[in-house]
Amino acid sequence: MKAMLLAFLAVGVIAVGANAYLSGAGFSAGEQATGSAVRLD
């Protein structure tokens, strides 16, 4: 049971960290799928 809770916690930490890193690195769908002629608000 302890190992399973630790695994859930690890998955949560990895997911939050990956989201923060990829958002800061410019890999969002809006930034990848648009060119300079498209306005996004």
pLDDT in tens, 1-41: 999 999 999 999 999 999 888 878 777 777 777 777 766 66
Whether 21 and 31 have beta carbons less than 8 Å apart is answered as: no
Q: What is the pLDDT, as a whole number, of residue 40?
A: 62
Q: What is the pLDDT, as a whole number, of residue 1?
A: 95
List Cβ neighbours of 30 (8 Å cut-off, separation of 6 or more): 40
